[in-house]
Each structure stands twice: as structure tokens, then as C-alpha cells.
Amino acid sequence: MELREMISDRLVFAPGVWDGLTARLAEQAGFSALCASGFAISAALGYPDAELYTMSENLGAVRTIREASDLPLIADIDTGYGNAVNAARTARRFADAGVAAVFLEDQRSPKRCPLIPGAEVELTDLAEAEGKVRAVKDAAGDMIVIARTDAKGEEALRRAEAYVRAGADMIMPVTKTFASVEEWARCHERTGVPLMATLTASAWTEREFTPEVMEQIGVRIALLPTQVLMAVTGAAQSALRRLAAGEPPADVSADALPHHDFVALIGMDEIERQQHKYLPAEV
């Protein structure tokens, strides 16, 4: 089912993934859509979420995710990697990769992650940001265009309305954009389009945005951008510390996923089937 059809009548949850393995795991868990999390893709490259990686590196990760899963994919294109012309080219490349939706933010490049305590972000002038949204929409084809704003309060509402006029299909406030559920509801009322929320780990939206609340305020896509990343990082950190401290590898393995279960979930059975079907029998 296409993403537009999904969100027309129900709330869709999309976990943050960053490679083929996490995409496959999310699909096997039963999710109906995925988010190529810029935060997670950057972390997988060993960088903080500060737009240190390039458009082509982001696109490479997206193509890997698409190869591993056919689920509709929502991709983070940061600031579009330049001006409106650059953002339009970015949108075309992501559309060519089979992405179902992209979200574009209105920060100046290089962006700053709004989750950093005390971080103040610099916004692009409204006219320039509006032009970027229009350029992405013109280049997007069938992709859903989601305009993110890092503004706050009334300025965020003003920008959201402008982005909808420019062609945005949905609006994405960040966790610091509004301080209450009522402000989110006002954004939906004033823009007249569905909203996308980020239920970021440890953010107030993660705690307060129940499915019932999100239905009431017009949220149609709920991203789970960092939960999987934090869980995987914590497990890997623990295993590596135990191994580095000299704990027997067999003891560490005993607390992890069994090897044969991993081989099965990664798709080895299907590869074996294809080998028997296409490769010549051994003499």
C-alpha cells in the first residue's frame, strides 16, 4: 500500500533506520513504513547530527534501505544541501531512489540538531525557505513533501502556513517548536494539512503523544527516530566493554541473539533457495 493511501485514514508509525539490517528488522517487526533517520545515518558514519555527511552519502544509505525493504520510506534531506536549486536536485535523486516522502527543514546550512541542550538554531529567511519548499515540490513527482520548521510559537505557525502555500503536503514541527498539545492542534487548524510528529527518545512528545492525542491534533505520521539507535548502541557498548574487560566470548554470546536465529532473519534461507535454483549442481 502506498504511503498516501495509508495516511488518508490512519496514523502511521515509522521507526528510524539507517541500513539494510535495521530496515529488515523493522519490516519483520510489523511496521508498515520506515524513516531513513538523518540522526541515525550520521551516527552510523561516526558523526553527530550536524550535516557533516553529504547528499550522496545520505542517498547511498537510502538506496541500501530500499534494497533491503519494500516498505514506504520517509527520508530526511536536511536543508536540501544548498539553495532551492540544490534542494530540487536532491528531491529528484531521492524520488529516483523510490522514496515515498521527504522532509526538508528551514535551518541555515550547516544545520544544528535541535536536541542539543541549549542549542539555538539559525533559520533561513522565510522567503528563501518558502522558495526551497516550492522547488522541492516541483521536483518531487509523486513524493510527499513534508516541510519541517525549527521556529517556535507564532513564528512557526506563520512559517507553516507559508510552506503549505508553497506546496507542502504536510508540516513537521520539531519537539521544541511547540510546548503543548494545544499548540500542535492550532498548527493543524491553521494549515489545514496533516502533521508529522517526531517521538524522539526522552522528548516530551514521546511521553505525551499517545495515538489518541495524535489523532485529535491531526498527526498522520509518527516517527520513532532514535529509539532503535539508542537500543542498538547500548547493547553494542555493553558487549564490547565486556569483551574488552576479558569476559569469555561465550558468556557474552550467551546473552545475545543466537547465531542460527540471526542467519535466518537476515535471509540466508532465501539465498540458499536461489543458489539451488540458479547455480549448477556440484559435480
Q: What is the pLDDT along the chain (283 residues), one digit of tens a residue?
A: 799 999 998 999 999 999 999 999 999 999 999 999 999 999 999 999 888 999 999 999 999 999 999 999 999 999 999 999 999 999 999 999 999 999 999 999 877 766 665 667 899 999 999 999 999 999 999 999 999 999 999 999 999 999 999 999 999 999 999 999 999 999 999 999 999 999 999 999 999 999 999 999 999 999 999 999 999 999 999 999 999 999 999 999 999 999 999 999 999 999 999 999 999 987 4
Residue 152 CA, distance from chain mean position? 21
* Other beta carbons less than 10 A from residue 279's beta carbon: 8
DSSP annotation of 230: H
Handedness of CA 190, 191, 192, 195 (dihedral sign): negative
Cα(190)–Cα(200) distance, integer angstroms = 25
Place of cell 539553495: 83
Please check whether residue 172 is in contact with residue 201, taking contact to mean a CB–CB distance below 8 angstroms.
no
- Residue 116: predicted pLDDT: 60
pTM beyond 0.85: the answer is yes
CATH 3.20.20.60 region(s) of the chain? 3-227
- Residue 1: predicted pLDDT: 76
Q: 178: number of CA atoms within 13 Å, CB side?
A: 24
Phi-psi region at 149: left, alpha or beta (left = phi > 0; alpha = psi -120 to 50): beta
Phi-psi region at 141: left, alpha or beta (left = phi > 0; alpha = psi -120 to 50): left
User: 260-271: string of b/e by CB count within 10 Å (b at 16+)?
Assistant: eeeeeeeeeeee
Side chain identity at residue 186, one-letter code: R
Find the distance separating the first CA and the last CA of the chain, reported in whole Å: 45
Side chain identity at residue 127, one-letter code: A
Cα 75-80-185 angle, rounded to 5 deg: 65
The predicted-structure confidence for 12-49, as pLDDT tens digits, reads as follows 999 999 999 999 999 999 999 999 999 999 999 999 98
- Per DSSP bridges, beta strands 34-36 and 195-198 are unpaired
- Residue 118: predicted pLDDT: 60
Q: Top-level CATH class of 3-227?
A: alpha beta
